[in-house]
Amino acid sequence: MVKFVQPKQKLANKIKKIGVLTSGGDSPGMNAAVRAVVRCAEFNKIECFGIYKGFDGLISDNINKLNARSVKNIVNKGGTILKSARSNEFRSKEGRIKAKETLDKYQIDSIVVIGGNGSLEGGKIFEEEHGVKVIGIPGTIDNDLEGTTFTLGYDTALNTAVEAIDKIRDTAISHNRLFFIEVMGKGSGHIALNAGIGAGAEEVLIPEKKMGIDRLLKSLKHSEKSGKSSSIIVVSEGEKIGDNVFKFSSYIEKNFPSYEIRVSILGHIQRGGSPSCFDRVLASRMGVYAVDSILKNKSKIMVGIKGDKIIEVPISEAIKGGQDIDRDLIRVCDIISI
């Protein structure tokens, strides 16, 4: 096989050492991204250090040099070999000073932060205070970063959710039951809406579309009249109609004695598992782009994807508050669930 390899980047400012960490809730594809960062660094003759347990690893000097072989056999693995954490200490100025001291000890001045909103915000503050160059890779199942159509792990989580809902449908049909299924997503309804469409839910409750309990009751009455004997309602964890999905279901039960209701919370199952091919490829592209960006002396950016193109988004934009839900998708969902 003929290998076509792009020429190496010219080293800007003689960058010799970089760090990589995973932070916040893990997401499938993080390992593939770490692998890409480490290998692209080695390809360009840069040393790459793995920082363990997110920003906590910077504070406690939990760092190890990685090479192309240290990241073998992980492209297909869920979770993150670097471990992850939501670091409370890094939220304080003192914590960030300690983190900077560790980086100085290793002479690392650029880091790749793979994580969600909070992690990228932490990276941004770190760069502002200490001049450490930060490149972000959006690693979260929530798909809630602005400027990128997809975050790493979202596709896998979505497929996990659909598979689980398909299974619940089998039992729902067998017992003529109404199921409320809660999916993750923090404040965003991307997983709920897309999994709801993909799994043929009767209703999808997401924070971006205020439905109101009365409309839901109406819709269920309509479903009953139209001959539906079982139903699946997908609820995003960020939907606050009924505070939580149990309160919600008991309210419906009171108003709908004819339905036998069950609740299922999919939970962390959505975060685990082998990444989809889409997430593996996305992670590999983003990892390489991140190191290329460091070599071009860029910083304060998150790597994203728009259409089929890998792009960069200022971190300050990316963390502004999530990308909008496609209104057309909501319409499609309403139409096909009658």
Active-site residues: which are they?
142
Give least dist CB 183 to ligand F6P, A: 9
Q: Which is nearer to ligand F6P, 184 or 282 (CB)?
A: 184
User: CA 43, CA 269: separation in Å to the nearest integer?
Assistant: 35
Q: Pick out residues in 90-149 that bind ligand F6P (CB under 6 A).
A: 116, 140-142
Query: Distance between CA atoms of 216 and 175, rounded to whole angstroms?
Result: 22
Q: How does DSSP assign 90-145, residue by residue?
A: GGSHHHHHHHHHHHHHHT--EEEEEE-HHHHHHHHHHHHHH--EEEEEEB-TT---
If we measure between CA atoms, which residue out of 270, 271, 251, 274 comes closest to residue 261? 251
Among 42-50, 73-81, 178-186, 305-313, the segment contacting ligand F6P (CB under 6 A)? 178-186
Question: 127 or 142, CB closer to ligand F6P?
Answer: 142
Q: How far is the CB of 186 from ligand F6P (least distance, A)?
A: 4
CB 217 → ligand F6P: shortest distance, Å? 27
322 binds ligand F6P (CB under 6 A): no
Q: For residue 85, report the phi and psi dihedrals to the nearest 5 degrees.
A: -160, 160
Q: Give the residue with the Cβ less far from ligand F6P, 151 or 299.
A: 151
For residue 266, give every residue at least 6 positions away whose Cβ sits within 8 Å of its Cβ, in sequence order, or none: 160, 161, 164, 181, 182, 183, 184
* In the complex, minimum distance from the CB of residue 190 to ligand F6P, in angstroms, rounded to a whole number: 10
Tokens at 27, concatenated? 């997401």
Which positions from 180 through 199 interact with ligand F6P, judged by CB under 6 A?
A: 184-186
Query: Closer to ligand F6P at the Cβ: 271 or 285?
Result: 271
For ligand F6P, how many residues bind (rule: CB under 6 A)? 10
| Interface positions with ligand F6P (CB under 6 A) | 25, 116, 140-142, 184-186, 237, 271
